[in-house]
Amino acid sequence: MLGIFLVVASVILAAYLVIKRYYAPWALLMVGLLLLICVSIISGAPLITGKKATHSAVFDIVQVFTNLLQSRTAGIGMNIICVGGFAYYMDKIGATKALVNICIKPLSYIHAPYLLLGLAYLVGQLLNVFIPSAVGLGMLLMVTIYPLLVAVGVSRLSAAAVVATASCLDLGPASGNSLLAAEISNLHVMEFFIENQLPVGIVTAVVIAAGHVVLGKFFDKRDLASGRLTQDDFKLRTEVKKEGAAAQPDAPIYYAILPILPVVLLFVFSKLVYAGIRLEVVTAILSCALVAFVVDLLTVRNLRECTDRTKAMFNGMGKIFSSTVLLIVCAEVFAEGLKRSGGIDTILQSVAQMQGAGGVTMLLAMFLIMTLAAFVTGSGNAAFFAFSPLLPQAAQSVAWSTVTMAVPVQLASGIARSMSPIAGVVMAVSGIAEVSPFELVRRTIPVMVFALIATFLASIIIL
């Protein structure tokens, strides 16, 4: 019982700190270290044994953090750093903007307002495979798809809801959550994406698109009739200001292929197509960065300018380390404390012993925990990084494969983020659309609830 109390108290404390906008990595690290201190005092056993042991109870607590920092930075951390840095470079040279402009061009020929809502979501979700930043993609879509949607007759709220949910599934090898889920599932990231994540993601994406079509029309009609919306809400109030990723320079149309190259290379040189060449994520990213530099140099023909642009990639790597990678490590210290408390084992064993429904019940429990955590924190990364280390143990306790747990739980983290009024993408989109974030999530929550149901059921059936 003491272990369960420690788990519940720690989760509540961590959630409180993150909700109150304390720096999330340090908040999770503090709670994790407090847990490890309690475990060390109660058990009296050393936290670290073997070559890494410090032979001091005090330093062993910090050594847990050291070990995780060393292993994660050299492994998945480097993958995420390079992916993030490459994304910054693509923004700098205008390649991301070129890709978005090409993908949304066909939408301009469709004049059915609410059908366009659904199609716009699907295009945005496709772009998310190559543009991993939810906020960055949201900024780009706000200056491209959003004005188009309002122009054909949907409300600003319905249009903004599509943009805010365009990255809700975190699909593909560019997503930090996907990379981590693939690692804990012991799968190559492309195998995880194509064979496991994508089938479930397609089902969920279709449900979300249909939800935007039906519910967008329903809410617009109802809110207009009730006076909650006026005709002014179906018009752009001001010209959409270009901010963040949307302020990228214009680039030639052929630059659009550059953000896609890493995914293409990882797909071609994998067990799915050709296994004769073994290509790691970092190697693929760096190779594509070199190709992008050559293309940019041949286009701009200014060596100094093109060289200066590459600085964006390395600066971006530093930003990704200080945000995402440190968040992963600190969240894993938190998860390590939860596991060492013994409360997680007690909970998992209780669920696993349920006759006939242990696996489904375990998945439902992890699914709901992730949904709640992502919703209250407004961060899919913080939630998934904190609780994903528990997935292999949860799966093993009910004799399921880890990937069966990892796919729906990972997708749930992004979906629930799109329901939160404090999520970065929701606040950014609502600010540009000049609507309240609470009004915006009033539109996203019903669609995302259907998405959560579709993800859970599709995972049980397909995986």
> SS3 letters for the chain?
CHHHHHHHHHHHHHHHHHHCCCCHHHHHHHHHHHHHHHHHHHHCCCCCCHHHCCCCHHHHHHHHHHHHHHHHHHCHHHHHHHHHHHHHHHHHHCHHHHHHHHHHHHHHHCCCHHHHHHHHHHHHHHHHCCCCCHHHHHHHHHCCHHHHHHHCCCCHHHHHHHHHHCCCCCCCCCCHHHHHHHHHCCCCHHHHHHHHHHHHHHHHHHHHHHHHHHHHHHHHHHHHHHCCCCHHHHCCCCCCCCCHHHHCCCCCHHHHHHHHHHHHHHHHCCCCCCCCCCCCHHHHHHHHHHHHHHHHHHHHCCHHHHHHHCHHHHHHHHHHHHHHHHHHHHHHHHHHHHHHCCHHHHHHHHHHCCCCCHHHHHHHHHHHHHHHHHHHHCCHHHHHHHHHHHHHHHHHHCCCCHHHHHHHHHHHHHHHHCCCCCCHHHHHHHHHHCCCHHHHHHHHHHHHHHHHHHHHHHHHHHC
Euclidean distance between CA atoms 4 and 343, whole angstroms = 4
Secondary structure (H, E, C), 33-78? HHHHHHHHHHHCCCCCCHHHCCCCHHHHHHHHHHHHHHHHHHCHHH
Report the half-sphere exposure of 54 (CA within 13 A, side-chain side): 13
CA distance from start to end of the chain: 34
pLDDT value for 443:
95
Euclidean distance between CA atoms 130 and 259, whole angstroms = 6
Buried-state track 233-266, b at ≥16 Cβ within 10 A, e below 16:
bbeeeeebeeebbbebeebeeebbbbbebbbebb
Model confidence band, residue 125 (pLDDT cutoffs 50, 70, 90): very high
Q: Return the sign of the alpha-carbon dihedral for residues 111, 114, 119, 121.
A: positive
Euclidean distance between CA atoms 73 and 69, whole angstroms = 6
Residue 230 pLDDT > 70, yes or no?
yes
**Residue 229 CA to its chain's centroid (Å):** 32
Contact 335, 386 (CB under 8 A): yes
Model confidence band, residue 246 (pLDDT cutoffs 50, 70, 90): low
Euclidean distance between CA atoms 77 and 69, whole angstroms = 9
Residue whose token pair is 């900024």: 139
Residue 245 pLDDT > 70, yes or no?
no
Task: Centre a 10 Å sphere on the Cβ of residue 272 and count the other Cβ atoms it contains.
Answer: 15
Of 40, 58, 26, the closest CA to residue 329 belongs to: 26
Percent of residues, the chain, with pLDDT higher than 70: 96
What's the Cα-to-Cα distance from 369 to each of 32, 116, 135, 387, 412, rounded to whole Å? 18, 34, 24, 8, 10
**Residue 435 CA to its chain's centroid (Å):** 24
pLDDT digit string, tens, across residues 250-289: 899 999 999 999 999 999 998 889 888 888 899 999 999 9
Rg (CA), the chain: 23
Q: What are 459's two structure tokens?
A: 């995972």
Model confidence band, residue 237 (pLDDT cutoffs 50, 70, 90): low
Residue 242 pLDDT > 80, yes or no?
no
Q: Return the sign of the alpha-carbon dihedral for residues 95, 101, 106, 112.
A: positive
Euclidean distance between CA atoms 201 and 222, whole angstroms = 30
pTM, full prediction: 0.89
Percent of residues, the chain, with pLDDT higher than 90: 57
Question: Among the listed ranges 85-89, 108-112, 154-158, 161-165, which one has the minimum average pLDDT value?
Answer: 108-112
Model confidence band, residue 208 (pLDDT cutoffs 50, 70, 90): very high
Model confidence band, residue 355 (pLDDT cutoffs 50, 70, 90): low
Euclidean distance between CA atoms 54 and 56, whole angstroms = 5
Question: Among the listed ranges 16-25, 154-163, 312-321, which one has the minimum average pLDDT value?
Answer: 16-25
